[in-house]
Structure 1
Amino acid sequence: MKPTFTGLIYIFLAVPPVHAETVSPLQARGYNVMPQPQVVKLRASDFEFGSDWKIEVQGAAPDDVAIETLRDELGRRYGLTLGVSGGNVLRLILAPNSVAVGASQDGDKQGLAEQAYKIDLSRDRVTIVANAPAGLFYGAVTLVQLVKPAHGALLLPEGHIEDWPDLQTRQIYWDDAHHLDRMETLKHALRQAAFFKINGFSLKLEGHFQFKSAPALVEPQAMTPAEFQELTDYGLRYHVQLIPYLDGPGHIAFILKHPEYAKLREYPDSNYELCATNPDSYKLMFGMFQDLIDANKGVKYFYLSTDEPYYVGMADNAQCQEGRRAKELGSVGKMLAEFVTKTANYLHDRGRTVVFWGEYPLKPEDLPSLPSHLVNGEVYGPQFDPLFKKHGIREMIYTSSEGEEKMFPDYFPLPADKRVHTGRGTGRRVTDTFQKITFDTARRDANLIGSINAGWADMGLHPETFWMGYATSAATGWHPGSPDPAELMATFYPLFYGPRVFNMNRVYELMSTQAQFWSDSWDQVNATALKPIWGNSYRIFDKPQPRHDQSLPLPPVPAADLTTSHDWAKDNAKRFQLAAEFLRENDELLGLLNANMARADVNRYNLEVFLAIAHLYRQNLEMLQTIQQMNGSLQGADAAHDKPKAAIGSVDRALELANTIRYARNVVLADAIATWYKAWFPRVAEANGRRYVHELDDVKDHLPDRTVDMTYLIYRQLLLPL
């Protein structure tokens, strides 16, 4: 996982902001489109759009995906079927050089022109014109979004739209490292990405792909090469590139934990990083590359994730002599550049444009050692970006919708006075992404090609929680600076769920703040039952350091005479006061989710996931209250210690309450599993003739790795003596 940004003040000093209207012209008229088109000229009137309209096509095939999507989405969202005759005409025209591209950050005007379109809207005729199939598709999607239900009719505004992207590629990162989504789930995700003009879908599978060249690392649930190609073809039909993603030299415990590959480790006692001077390391990587690209024909890009290669160039032991090679080359950064060159050139020679992470330990003087055909998947600041540009390496602006949050992304912050613990602040994912893409100094210093927004699976969040981050990131990559983050979110809700949902901003606020209290309501402690961490981003530890668990201070165990030692309730008063407040807000959240389940016209499963998460929040809050009641029962036993029958009764009541906690925990977990597994294959130790090797990463501590199954959702509770 890459670090996230928290402050952008320096940016505003360096780059003048893009002008944005207080309210976009479409939003001012009650219309929702995402991304906001570059040019919108509306006339005063609206007109009805209905079944008396017919489709005419010029220059495009009758089965073009733009026409298919237009029909499907109008039917699915509005119950509208266009006729085959009638006086009103919706015309789709595909004609090269028919739409001009205006001002843009990306200098590749041809690449942008392929996605450009224009729409003329009048009472008896709507015309969508595009230079290429992708543009025609985006024009069709915009028209679908533009339709407004009002008073039993469907309306469109009279006017003119011209549109093209500011950056040619707008990618998302989808993380299936710790689970495998079902094929229908991934196909739905690809279509949904296309609906929001996302055209790159970087899929991390790790052992969930059936590598022919490395069968030992294939996990029980794994996609076949034929399925990967089927998914690739499906994405390409909707103008979305399904991009393979493979880590190296770091972040590959999923490989190096296997005894068959332990000899490739940089350090024998760490499964985190590959030895970059071992020829067998390249043999393994090239074989895995080839397996993926053979099952991914038709795609331009490949993600060579050089994310966080902390220790490259440092090892000097019997099985890896990177330190010696780094000295020969002149720096550890040049050692990383050599690894990148060898691996990226293999992919480049086979027709792929390679995206890598150009980060530490690279230094400015190391950049000339990299091949210029690379794309850097992250901008790296004024010290680096001009040098990447000078060397011919294009760059992308990286943002994330999830980092280390548990349960739900930080779309809204939890106020400091609503926290048990001080010191942990939160950002606003949509606002931070908007500011990064719109105002980063890379707009001045880099040769930008696109943006990518990551939804990391490190904490085991359900991917359904990332869609607002994904959609608003792509919208800002298409049209930076307009509209503002609040309008972006307000536009997302009716487009994602349908126009009848209500108060969704409050839903996302409550989902965010309840998740943060879910984490904050417990204390951080050192783990005692797990192997320790070998090193971090700064150094290899002299002595491995403990991982972190979460725990709760439980009421003191009574003495033999049933007396208690201290005032536990007083010590935890704030924790329980806040839990009571959040329980009331959970009532509100569940009410809103259930009401909107009945009103959502599309993506209702997303709200099912939210409901399951909200019940996990609630179980935690009710557990805190129950522990408080247990303490009251134990205090009652203390007060009645000279009345044995009453005292024992109070102790029995505390034990009964503990049983209710365990029962409620198991019920809510079962409900969550049932919901998750509608989209995921089960997380199991053995299936399809393969066994899962359960070995923790020596450097990274990803919550789903703690368990083989779904009990990672309640892992911290399993550590309590309840």
Structure 2
Amino acid sequence: MLLQGSSSLNPESINSYYSENNETVRGIAKLFKKIENEKDSPVKITIDDASNINTEGYHLKIDNEKISITAKDNAGAMYGLITLSQLIQDAVDQNVNLPMVDIEDFPLLAYRAIHLDVKHHMETLDYYYELMDRLAAYKINGIIAEVEDKIKYVRQPKVASEDALTIEEWEKLSKYAKERNIEISPLVQGIGHASFVLKHDEYRELRDDPESDWAFNPLDPKTYEVQFDLYLDALEALPDGKYLHIGGDEVHTSGRQSEKSALELQLIWLDKVCKFAEEQGRIPIFWDDMPLKHANVYRPMFDRNISPEKVDSIWETNEHELVKFIDKFPKNCVYMRWNYQTPETYGNLKAMEWFSSHGFQVMGATAGQTRWSLMPQNEGNISNIRSFALSSIEKNLDGLLLTLWDDDSPHFELYIRGIIAFSEYTWSGDQRTKEEFKEAYRQRTFGSEFSGNEYAFIDRLEGPVAHWKNALLIEGKQRNQLRKLEDPLSEASIELPSKNAKGEWAKKHEKRLENARKQLAELDTVEQRIALLKKESNRNPYTLEMYEQVTKLVQFSYEGLLKLETYDLATGDTENAALEDIKKMNTDFDELREKLETVYAKARVLNKPANYILDQDHHTHNANQSLNFDWQFYPEMLLLEKIQTIE
């Protein structure tokens, strides 16, 4: 981008365009409310498929009095308009004319997809439509929708949740996304992760293990009757994508004494479902972890300390376990190598190269959310997203997927910074450092005057949230494990101070209390920054509301610990006041929860249907532990229940 000074163009006067490709451009321009095609408009848009501009790329030039956008295709024209809209927004905010620029821009990865995981909850339909507009602005062009039971299946209606979207509702959303250059493809879990099907008594006979709802029996023909019915409905619901993601990760099948190995069983299943996908005109995508595990070459991908020589030695010893079945690996399948923490390791690159060197299609998968509670951690995983994007570009791969797992179900709004980071590095490559990216994120999200590091409240919030997860539990107990306990109130919830042992509770929990004070000081700074932004910034108010509610929930838990300390140390007249303050926590919590749920519910459906069947929860997903929103507050509710017993 060449900066050439300021133009004479007032940004607020740019409300039309001119294009000889009017019918094509009209739909694109309408997205930005610039719907008038006027010959004297300063904005000229040209789509020329003979242009030497890259696919999805554009050339945007702003001179003193005119603006031109040239692209090879509709997507490029749209992205050019997106960039122009951002420049207009910045100029309006700063009360200046548009800058004179000459920008040639195009993506370095062709397929830039995010994961939409709806297995534990749905967002509102309005939010999904608004999300498509935002994803288009971020230049995301694909979605892998892990639909599970959130389609009103026609061929297997028992599988559908009562709150599922109809096939027609999904199809309408798919068309809306397609108009914005976003193709939505379904992910329907197959051989494993099948609890959404196998939890129902009607499908119990299809279980690989009769006592577990986790995996299908790959040797039962009825398995494929059910799965193919689900696939067909999902493809009708999402007709505009080119992929069918069939899952296939984290599966160990027994074959019910078939004498076939777990790898053979998975390849039998993989062959059948890949052939079916091909018959439907879709490219199947398969998580690649299980074949690598069965061949004992999996662990080096996640070990930064193991040497390349050691990795090569492990492969040399075990590669034959893959090679002897290589003819059974479908050639029409994309083998998706997921690695969320260590994508740069030699072991990870080695695994990807093994597939590609044997003629298989390979694509990577990074993550903006894994098992983090309440909000993404590790700076939204930006460093690992960047690393996998850059290696995918270097290896000339077709694309990359950003997984956004709903296992512990933070609000989707809190994934957005990670999504934008993914967009940045898959489109532009290594143009900005992590800190430069975060500064640009703050500028774009809240305004140019709020780009400085003093407004980096998201990073500052991560520490308090990470410590909050188990702050109210006995040491060693985990928030997501509470449902597995016979009596979580006594087994996991922190004990209360005793009137007969004054000061002992505070002494025992000295480090916990010290940490609570430290985190509250950090939260106070976060709260001040959010309040200032809510007052001064006119961008993305809902994002700020969401982070504000996260802050208040975390504050409540830490403040509760300090109130217990005050009670433990209180004597005489102050003891009754301290006790009253503790008892008031129930009322305070009810008010906090009501406000939080009101804000969350602007975009999220909080409660599951009354007749919803929770599955066996093999991976202890927080969001799978109650029909209502109780799972979000379980440790807090346990503590409040205990407090009511104090006399």
TM-score bucket of the superposed structures, by smaller chain: 0.7 to 0.9
Alpha-carbon distance, 1:283 to partner: 0.8
- Is the 1:593–1:607 Cα contact (8 Å) retained in structure 2? yes
- Is the 1:99–1:118 Cα contact (8 Å) retained in structure 2? no
Q: Which of 471, 486, 494 matches 1:553?
A: 494
CA distance in 1, matches of 2:358, 2:235: 27
Judged with a 3 Å threshold, the aligned counterparts in structure 2 of structure 1 residues 241 and 548 are, in CA distance, closer, same or farther, namely farther
Alpha-carbon distance, 1:402 to partner: 1.2
Q: What's the counterpart of residue 595 of structure 1? A: 532
Judged with a 3 Å threshold, the aligned counterparts in structure 2 of structure 1 residues 403 and 132 are, in CA distance, closer, same or farther, namely same
Deviating runs (4+, > 6 A) in structure 1? Answer: 526-529, 545-550
Q: Which of 601, 609, 615 matches 1:695?
A: 615
Amino acid at match of 1:585: E
Alpha-carbon distance, 1:204 to partner: 2.0
Q: What's the counterpart of residue 74 of structure 2? A: 133
Is 1:65 the counterpart of 2:27? The answer is yes
Tell me the secondary structure at the aligned position of residue 19 of structure 2. Answer: strand
- Is the 2:163–2:609 Cα contact (8 Å) retained in structure 1? no
CA distance in 2, matches of 1:155, 1:391: 55
Tell me the secondary structure at the aligned position of residue 360 of structure 1. Answer: helix
- Is the 1:696–1:706 Cα contact (8 Å) retained in structure 2? no
Judged with a 3 Å threshold, the aligned counterparts in structure 2 of structure 1 residues 338 and 655 are, in CA distance, closer, same or farther, namely same
TM-superposition CA deviations, 1:257-311 (whole Å, max 9, x none): 11111111111111111111111111110000001111222221222112222x1
CA distance in 2, matches of 1:496, 1:368: 50
Aligned 1:63-102 pairs, distance under 5 A: 64-71=26-33, 84=38, 89-101=42-54
Q: What's the counterpart of residue 377 of structure 1? A: 336
Tell me the secondary structure at the aligned position of residue 201 of structure 1. Answer: strand
Judged with a 3 Å threshold, the aligned counterparts in structure 2 of structure 1 residues 99 and 116 are, in CA distance, closer, same or farther, namely farther
Judged with a 3 Å threshold, the aligned counterparts in structure 2 of structure 1 residues 494 and 716 are, in CA distance, closer, same or farther, namely same
Is 1:663 the counterpart of 2:587? The answer is yes
Q: What's the counterpart of residue 470 of structure 1? A: 419
Amino acid at match of 2:555: R
- Is the 1:97–1:131 Cα contact (8 Å) retained in structure 2? yes
- Is the 1:252–1:274 Cα contact (8 Å) retained in structure 2? yes
Q: What's the counterpart of residue 57 of structure 2? A: 116
- Is the 1:166–1:480 Cα contact (8 Å) retained in structure 2? yes
| Structure with a larger share of its residues in helix | 2
- What number of residue pairs does the alignment pair up? 598
Alpha-carbon distance, 1:157 to partner: 3.0
CA distance in 2, matches of 1:549, 1:456: 31
Q: What's the counterpart of residue 232 of structure 1? A: 174
CA distance in 2, matches of 1:151, 1:197: 23
CA distance in 1, matches of 2:145, 2:360: 23
CA distance in 2, matches of 1:243, 1:192: 18
Aligned 1:272-671 pairs, distance under 5 A: 272-309=214-251, 311-312=252-253, 314-316=254-256, 321=257, 323-326=258-261, 332-362=262-292, 363=295, 364-365=322-323, 366-378=325-337, 381-412=348-379, 429-438=381-390, 440=391, 448-499=397-448, 501=450, 505-519=455-469, 521-522=471-472, 523-525=475-477, 530-531=483-484, 551-558=492-499, 563-564=500-501, 567-633=504-570, 636=571, 655-671=579-595
CA distance in 1, matches of 2:145, 2:585: 38
Q: What's the counterpart of residue 212 of structure 1? A: 154
CA distance in 2, matches of 1:100, 1:550: 64
Q: Which of 634, 637, 642 matches 1:718?
A: 637
Q: What's the counterpart of residue 55 of structure 1? A: 17
CA distance in 1, matches of 2:536, 2:502: 53
CA distance in 1, matches of 2:39, 2:420: 36
Tell me the secondary structure at the aligned position of residue 274 of structure 2. Answer: helix
Alpha-carbon distance, 1:703 to partner: 0.3
* Structure 1 gap ranges (5+): 1-39, 73-80, 102-112, 327-331, 413-427, 533-544, 637-645
Higher RCO, Cα 8 Å, sep 6+ = 1
Judged with a 3 Å threshold, the aligned counterparts in structure 2 of structure 1 residues 135 and 85 are, in CA distance, closer, same or farther, namely closer
TM-score by length of 2: 0.86
Judged with a 3 Å threshold, the aligned counterparts in structure 2 of structure 1 residues 456 and 98 are, in CA distance, closer, same or farther, namely same
- Is the 1:265–1:273 Cα contact (8 Å) retained in structure 2? yes
Alpha-carbon distance, 1:237 to partner: 0.6
- Is the 2:482–2:488 Cα contact (8 Å) retained in structure 1? no
CA distance in 1, matches of 2:613, 2:627: 9
Q: What's the counterpart of residue 106 of structure 1? A: none
CA distance in 2, matches of 1:528, 1:164: 46
